[in-house]
Amino acid sequence: MQSLIGGAGSGRRRLAAERFPGARWHRLAAGEAAACLEARGGGEVLVVDGIADWLAAALAETSDDEALRGLWSGLLDGLAAAPGEAVLILDEMGRGIVPMDPAPRRLRDHNGWLVQAAAARSRAVWYLRHGLCKQLK
């Protein structure tokens, strides 16, 4: 598994398209973690996008943070263990102003934990900012 991490407009999707031209793309939608794992198929490269939107929808459905951690942890474990290569496009939310409203703060916290967990499971981690890419792992 590989992770491409960056903020809005940082060039993550462009980099994924350039590095993995024959990859299948899967946009993760609310309630479909299992469908994403099924999309892995027979060992090809799968680029997974929309993780922050999926996480926001999951946060709206439950107030149980431990259950939510289990959900995204299971998704990451499944993507890391399946045959082929999973390339995750992950949102950087750690820069800028911390929201005062608890709901956006909760999304920011869970996204940060999810990105840390993805980076720990990834064999390569790339950080993009202003269209520039740096390999962190």
15 confidence band (pLDDT: 50, 70, 90): very high
Domain count, the chain: 1
Q: Is the pLDDT higher at 27 or at 95?
A: 27
**51-61 and 65-81 are packed helices; what angle lies between their axes, rounded to 10 degrees?**
150
Note the pLDDT of residue 98: 77
- Average pLDDT of the segment spanning 94-118: 87
- Helices 102-121, 65-81: crossing angle, 10 deg rounding: 30
Average pLDDT of span 24-36 = 75
Instruction: Give the C-alpha separation, 7 to 18, whole Å.
Output: 18
The Cα–Cα gap between 127 and 11 comes to 10
pLDDT, position 36 = 66
- pLDDT for 66 beyond 80: yes
Residue 110 near residue 72, CB atoms below 8 Å? yes
Decide which of 43 and 101 is more confident: 101
- Alpha carbon 129 to chain centroid, angstroms: 16
The mean per-residue pLDDT over the stretch 119-136 comes to 93
| 100: containing domain | 2-135
pTM of the model: 0.88
The Cα 121–Cα 75 span in angstroms is 11
Q: What is the CATH number of the domain that holds 64?
A: 3.40.50.300
